[in-house]
Amino acid sequence: MPIRHSTDSHRATKRHGLGPVMVDLQGEALTGEERELLRHPAVGGVILFSRNFSSPEQLEELVREIHALREPGLLVAVDQEGGRVQRFREGFSLLPPVRRFGELYDRAPEAAREAARLAGWLMASELRAVGVDFSFAPVLDLDRGVSGVIGDRAFHSDPKVVARLARAWLAGMREAGMAATGKHFPGHGAVVADSHVDVPVDERSFETILAEDAAPFARLADNALAAVMTAHVIYRNVDRLPATFSRFWIEEVLRGRLGFQGAVFSDDLGMAGAAVAGDILARAEAALAAGCDMILVCNDPEGAGMVVEKLRWPDTPLSHLRLARMHGRPAPARQELLAAPQWKKAVEKMARFTGNGEEGMLFQEPCQ
């Protein structure tokens, strides 16, 4: 739908900050309609997918053009976890699923932490070299052996191990100039249903969820974690709404009990797990009312156009500050990175991360 830029006072207050909507793109270059959409004050970010990528050079030009559209620049994000969720592959280092670090941890904890740190640094440094602000990573869900959509995307089944490995991963991201987003709060690993295509319901008690699945989020709620993404899961014994639309989970638990001060992103509001909140505009309004700072509207150009045109949102200075932290910090250009000994060492070690027992030797620190 055509985008009209309102000039009323409500809109005018937003023009110098980031709006609360993150949208996607259809191809490898911006269309005229997409440029118009991204200039709308309700938009604050862009999430990229595999369809938006053909080469690092093309990607860098696309990101440069997105950033040039607005001041402050729109946030540019991607899902670049490693394993089966890695949108950019050709020309980027292939990363193992993070479960591999958990498997190594059971044999060699220090080696596993170093491997996780190195993987976080490698992922983040390659994205920052082409201008991408951040990846929605790492996954903090527990690997309970029941969720196919989580599975090997989780570090481990033990929340303490997940927190230790994730903290190492975050340290690598931070070294590369990238803020981290933990997902999916308060935990997606205990339900069989996939929230992309169904409405998962978790029947466990609040006390169990808080003590187990939410524990990695609690351990990382300090400044190590800049953002959290919510789960489209209904925790029936806690709230009738999925966490994305629940003020109890976001405001009372995440911000109140856990003391989290970073940004809160919704998962994609186009997913089936979000449908209980109504149409796409109702979902957007409900997620923001529950405490999300930014909402994702993906794979629905008409819906995205309707949301940014009709959405009314509170002008919250704290949200602007939280989202501003997600901008990537200055980083070496791609050619400089590829020539760096640190990058070459990291690529070699990740490529040899084969799962046949040699990883522990690869990541052990030499004896002093």
Catalytic site includes residue 279: no
- Residue 158 falls inside a structural domain: yes
- Residue 316 falls inside a structural domain: yes
- Residue 33 falls inside a structural domain: no
Q: What's the number of domains the chain is made of? A: 1
- Residue 3 falls inside a structural domain: no
- Residue 364 falls inside a structural domain: no
Catalytic site includes residue 267: yes
- The active-site residue out of 5, 106, 196, 279 is 196
Q: How many residues does the chain have?
A: 368
DSSP strands (E only) in 120-236? 134-135, 181-185, 201-202, 227-230, 234-235
**41 upstream amide cis, omega within 30 of 0:** no
Q: What's the pLDDT score for residue 318?
A: 92
Q: Closest Cα partner for 269 from 246, 253, 286?
A: 286
List the chain pLDDT tens, one digit each, 368 residues: 455 554 343 343 344 589 999 999 999 999 999 999 999 999 999 999 999 999 999 999 999 999 999 999 999 999 999 999 999 999 999 999 999 999 999 999 999 999 999 999 999 999 999 999 999 999 999 999 888 889 999 999 999 999 999 999 999 999 999 999 999 999 999 888 667 767 889 999 999 999 999 999 999 998 789 999 999 999 999 999 999 999 999 999 999 999 999 999 999 999 888 889 899 999 999 999 999 999 999 999 999 999 999 999 888 899 999 999 999 999 999 999 999 999 999 999 898 774 444 454 444 433 33
- Residue 8 falls inside a structural domain: no
Alpha-carbon span 363 to 182, nearest angstrom: 25
Alpha-carbon span 36 to 32, nearest angstrom: 6
DSSP 37-58: HHTSTTEEEEEE-GGG-S-HHH
End-to-end CA distance of the chain: 65
- The active-site residue out of 152, 213, 267, 268 is 267
Domain CATH number, residue 342? 3.20.20.300
Cα–Cα separations (whole angstroms), residue 256 to 223, 282, 293: 15, 25, 16
Supply the range of the domain harboring residue 205: 39-353
- Residue 344 falls inside a structural domain: yes
DSSP annotation of 15: T
**Residue 80 buriedness (CB in 10 A; 0-12 / 13-18 / 19+):** buried
The sheet carrying 181-185 orders its strands as 134-135, 75-78, 43-48, 21-23, 294-297, 263-268, 227-230, 181-185
Q: What's the pLDDT score for residue 222?
A: 86
- Residue 362 falls inside a structural domain: no
pTM: 0.92
